[in-house]
Amino acid sequence: MATGQVCAQLNDFTITASATPQTCLGNGTVSFTVSGNNTAAALEFAVYLLPNTTVPFTTVTAMSAQNLVAGDYLIIATQTLNGQSNTATANATVGDNTVPLVYTLTTTNIGCGEGSITVNVTSGNAVQYEIISGPVTVPLQTSNVFTGLPAGQYQVRVHNNCGDAFTTTVQLITGSNSLQIKEGGVAQLASCNTIKVYHHASTTSAIAWPLQLEYTVYGPTGDPQVITDTATGPGQIVTEIPFNESGTYVYYIETTDACGNVFNDGPFIISGYINFAMLVGYQVCDPTSIIVRPSDYLMYPLTFNFIEAPEDFNPVDFNASYPLFEDFQTSIVFEGGVLPYGDYTLEITDACGRVIEREVVVGPNIHPPQVVVTYSCQLGTVDILTIGKAITGLVVTHAPEAYEPQLPHELLGNSDPQYGFVINGLPEGDYTLHLTDECDNEFDLQIVINTPPANILVQNLPGCSEGLGSVSAYRPAKLLQPLPLPVRRPLLWVHCLLMQQILLHQDNLVCLACPAEIIRTA
């Protein structure tokens, strides 16, 4: 705010200007206050929007100027009396307090044949809404939601408090009846007699909530049981159904949406067996742990009882929590030294009073090796896995005639106890290998190398220029060598060699351009 004065034949006077910011485009104001003026003189105010000082933005005789846009203004006040006049000046700034109208449109396409459009305002002040074009039109309303709309393209107009209107086009699609209930997680025991099952609703369109779900549970024996539930909105659907511990059973779900559409899903399978696994873990040759893995359907806490074990086995020495295990564990391990050899029988009682027994024999690590055979071209590769213990001796005692080394053939070198031993480049035929591990166990391994034929797919394809075609060959993963591909046409033979370096880096397509009349051979 600034003031100024000019001397003339009339008394000097001053003017003060006070601005009000615009809240809508062009509704700012500047109010004037004058002092020292001749009360008989006429006042006129020329308001200039800077930097223009030639043509006034507006000229008024009232004590305020209306409908001003944001900006800096120079006000020149003139008092006139009996042909005489003088002026005074002031400056004012009209601020910009406008808030732009920003909104989005969301649609709900449901299977009932009607949909809705919602205007979500994130900035500005919307006051009225209308649909000006579409399968149906809607006059001005204060609600931001339009309902009961058929499918089609709509133009939605939104009005703000400044009288401005903005139009947006949106497509409304009627949802198809494609609802499906899918499994949404692993079933968990809820009580001794019930289990929680998890599902979610899946569809390519919108869902008409709520959903009424009817679970029909077919136990191993007896009549089916029916459980009902309601899903009110998106998210995981969790329902308790009867639990049957005597075996595998199934259930089906019938779902009815808010439009009355019915959907059927299933069967969903539950393996109701209560069980646990008991394994022996080894440190090279010695048994050093008993690993117990309870099934998901045992109710904690669990009470353990070794009803049979060697006399010098004390369970507490190997697991201080014995005999009561309060919280769920994927594996409960008894470890802490070499286990006494002998028969072990473990009895587990869960919180529901259900009792299960399992047995295991603890002794030295006499487990045989695992043998995996893979192929490339007409040669085989043998992977021998002795997990946790190394191979100390490996002799080929029998092999086909194509095997070049003289028998018996000692395969020198110790294996890695973690990764085993690999033999490459074995011709087809029957083999016998005598293996000794570091625990002094001996095994005779019978191995057959029988490479299956390589199926090569050859296709005729268009060429890259007129009069030329292409031949493409798809290499099987086991074919590692260059591939000679004979191609013939009348009176002419062509041999195309697919380069090895291409085959090694591309598992499938290798393409050769040949005259279009060439015919590929089988």
**Residue 185 in this model has a pLDDT that exceeds 90:** no
Report the range of poorest mean pLDDT among 37-46, 266-275, 448-457, 504-513: 504-513
- Point out the least confidently predicted range of 327-336, 387-396, 451-460: 451-460
Percent of the chain at pLDDT > 90 equals 64
CB atoms within 10 A of CB 253: 23
| Residue bearing the bigger pLDDT, 106 or 349 | 349
Q: In the prediction, which pLDDT does 413 show?
A: 61
pLDDT for residue 456 is more than 70: no
Please name each of the domains of the chain with its CATH number: 14-94 (2.60.40.10), 102-172 (2.60.40.760), 180-271 (2.60.40.10), 276-362 (2.60.40), 370-449 (2.60.40), 457-520 (no CATH)
Model pLDDT, residue 513: 39
Output the pTM of the full model. Answer: 0.55
Instruction: For residues 518 and 469, give the distance between their C-alpha atoms in angstroms, rounded to a whole number.
Output: 8
What pLDDT score does 499 carry?
32
- Quickly list DSSP for 121-147: EEES-EEEEEEEESSS-EEEES-SEEE
Residue 361, H or E segment: strand 355-362
Q: What is the pLDDT of residue 213?
A: 97
Report the alpha-carbon distance of residue 115 to residue 154 in Å, rounded: 12
Write the secondary structure of 271-327 as one string of H (helix), E (strand) and C (coil).
ECCCCEEEEEEEECCEEEEEEEEECCCCCCCEEEEEEECCCCCCHHHHCCCCCEECC
What's the pLDDT band for 10 if we cut at 50, 70, 90?
confident
* Average pLDDT value over all residues in the chain: 84
- Give the confidence band of 506 by pLDDT, cuts at 50, 70, 90: very low
Across 205-275, where does the E strand assignment appear?
211-218, 225-231, 237-242, 248-256, 262-271
Report d(CA 348, CA 276) in Å as an integer.
Answer: 9
How would residue 150 be classed by pLDDT, with cut points 50, 70 and 90? confident
To which H or E segment does residue 488 belong?
Answer: strand 483-489
Q: What backbone phi and psi angles, to 5 degrees, belong to 299? A: -95, 125
User: What band does 176 get if pLDDT is binned at 50, 70 and 90?
Assistant: low
